[in-house]
Every structure is written in structure tokens, then in C-alpha cells.
Structure 1
């Protein structure tokens, strides 16, 4: 997926990729949504493959990153200098921050995580609308953004993150389909 370079592309990519993710989630049964991930992650790269234990964890991750973005933008626009990542973390240690998000939300249900991510997605997409094309995609438009653009942060937290989540949920859904082909006795069906 090409990164958005215009406001229209940013909004379209964010909404389209979110709809794709929620469409896959809708195809899962209520029982399946609560099942632990059991697919093989040994060939996958990235700590997140081992970090997330179910669909809930993936949705919480998305929601927490929405909150990071919302807080970062609103704080800096209000004149309060604040880094993007949570206090105490940097780009070398943010994996521990992600694990903290998962642990902090361990007691919530799939339904709660789904409601949270839907609500925060709407808030992020609404926030995008408050910025002009130039504010989103001109380097240096906001000094607190650093050497990139504000739009690139929105892309990372929406479309890019949704593509990642969709890949993970698809892998899970595929593992369920394969599992249903094996009878409970553990013997393979005749060919």
C-alpha cells in the first residue's frame, strides 16, 4: 500500500483499511473472536506476533495508538510540548510500552475492545478533518512533528496499522478454517 500524500488519500486509506479489518472481524463468530491465537509465528518477523494472544489484544493495540496520537496532537497544539510516545519510552523501547497496553487492558472483553477501537478510529478520522492539506503534508508545518509530516503519523496510526492488524486477523481466521478440517479425534479426513 502506498503511503498517502494527500488529505483525501489519507482519509480514504484510513477508512477503507478500517472497513476491511472490521469486515474480517464480522466474519468471525462470537466464539471465534474470543479464541486464543494458535497459529505458527516462528517464521514471522516482529515481536508483535508473540505479544498478541487474541483478537482483543490486536484491537487494544490499535486503540491505544489512536490515543497516543490524539493526546500528542492535542497537547502540542495547546502549546504543551509532548513527545509522541508515552513518557519513559522511546523508539528503541516502545515494545515494552505495547506490552504495557496489552496488560493494562487484559480484563476487558472483545466487545469492549471493538467498541473502543471504533470510537477512537472515529476520533482520529475527525481530527484529520481539522487540518488542511498543507498542515498534514508539509514538512516543518509543526516543529513538534520533527523531520516528517503530520500526515505520516496519521497514516502510521490508521491505514498502516490497520493493514498490519488485518494481516494478523486473516492469519488467525485462516488457522481456524484449517482447524475445522481436522475431526475432533485428531485423524485427518479421507481424501
Structure 2
């Protein structure tokens, strides 16, 4: 899928992919939605998330926590208070540890609550994006606090790219439970 380069495309694609994620679960029972993953990770992809995420709830929580990172970063910086995208204890070399921390933090979160949190955070992210102008979203260096990357890139990463990642795992789960 081509990464969005306009506000309109970002909004359209993020909503479409978000809805696709949930639509692909139609026909699954509540038990199927809450059951642990039982598919094998792809041999060609050794990324940590294949062993970290054990069920749909874990995927929802991962997406939710990355939404919250984006929301906090945008809100804080747009209000003229300096904030890094990642929490102080992490950087782009150690964000896998942060993802594991998110996973551990939510092991007591229920599937239903995780789904509700994700739907709310998606709505919040989309409202933030809708209130940004095109230039502010996609012009590199428009905001000095975004470094050499546009904030639109961060938005794409926390929405479209992450939803595509999630759907890859969800498709495997759906196939396995319906077989």
C-alpha cells in the first residue's frame, strides 16, 4: 500500500484500514476473538512481535499505546511544551523494550476493554489529524520538534502502517481459527 502524502489520503486510508481490521473479525465468535494465537511465525520474519503478541488483545493494546504516544507528542508540542516522541527511558534502538513494557502493563486488560480503548484512541488520533493543516502535516521541518521527519510520517506510522501490520497477524489468526 502506498503511504499517504496528503491529509485527505491519510484520513481516508487510516479510517478504511481501521474498519477493515474489525471487519475481518466478523464471523468470529467471542471465544475465537479471545483465544491465543496458534499460528507459526513466518520463517522470513524474525521480528520480536511474533512472539510478544499472543492474542488480539495484545495487538489492540500495541496499537492503542502507539496512538497514545502520538497523541501525547502532538498535543504537548503543539502547546509549545517540548516532548520527545518516545518516553525518556527509550530510544529508536530500544523501542522493542518499550513495546514489551506495554505488553506487560496490559496483561490484565480484558479483550473488550482493549477494543474500546483502541477505538477511542483511533478517534482521538483522527480528530487531531483533522485539525492539522496540510503543510503542518507533510512538510519536513515545518515544526522544529519533529526533526527531519514530517509529523505526517509519524501519523502514518501510528495509523496506516500499524493497521497493515496488525491485519497481517489478524488474517493468520482468522485463517487458523476458521480452519
TM-score range, shorter chain: over 0.9
Equivalent-residue separation in structure 1 for 2:27 and 2:70 (angstroms): 29
SS at match of 2:161: helix
Deviation per CA, 1:144-165: give whole Å up to 9, x if none: 1111111111000001100100
The residue correspondences of 1:165-184 to structure 2 (distance < 5 A) are: 165-178=166-179
Unaligned runs of 5+ in 1: 179-191
Distance 1:135 1:37 in 2: 40
DSSP-derived class of the 2:25 partner: helix
Give the aligned partner of residue 183 of structure 1. none
Shift of 1:42: 5.0
**Aligned equivalents of 2:72, 2:165: Cα separation in 1:** 22
- Number of aligned residue pairs: give it: 178
Indicate the residue corresponding to 1:135 in structure 2.
136
Greater Cα radius of gyration, structure 1 or 2: 1
The aligned runs of 1:104-123 (5 Å cut-off) are 104-123=105-124
Taking the aligned partners of 2:88 and 2:143, their CA distance within structure 1 comes to 21
Q: For 1:27, what is the secondary structure of its paired residue?
A: coil
Two-structure CA RMSD over aligned residues (Å)? 1.0
- 2: CA distance, partners of 1:91 / 1:28: 36
Q: What are the residue-to-residue correspondences of 1:48-87 with 2, within 5 Å?
A: 48-87=49-88
Tell me by how many angstroms 1:87 deviates: 1.7
Structure 2: 5+ residue stretches without partners: none
Whole-angstrom distance in 2 between the partners of 1:151 and 1:23: 26
Q: Deviations over 1:70-117 (max 9, x none)?
A: 000111112221110112000110011001111111111111000000
3-state DSSP of counterpart to 1:175: helix
1:34 aligns with 2:24: no
Task: Please report the TM-score for the alignment, with normalisation by the length of structure 2.
Answer: 0.96
Q: Aligned partners of 1:149, 1:29: CA distance in 2, in Å?
A: 41
- Equivalent residue for 2:19? 19
Quote how far apart the aligned CAs of 1:7 are: 0.5
For 2:166 and 2:106, locate their aligned partners in 1 and report how far apart those are by CA, in whole Å. 17
Deviation at 1:45, TM superposition (A): 3.1
Task: Name the counterpart of 2:6.
Answer: 6
1:27 Cα deviation from its structure 2 partner: 3.0
**When the two structures are superposed, what TM-score results if normalisation uses the length of structure 1?**
0.91
Please state how far the C-alpha of 1:118 moved relative to its aligned partner.
0.2
Find runs of 4+ consecutive structure 1 residues off by over 6 angstroms.
none
* Residue 88, structure 1, aligned to residue 89, structure 2: yes
SS in 1 for 2:135: helix
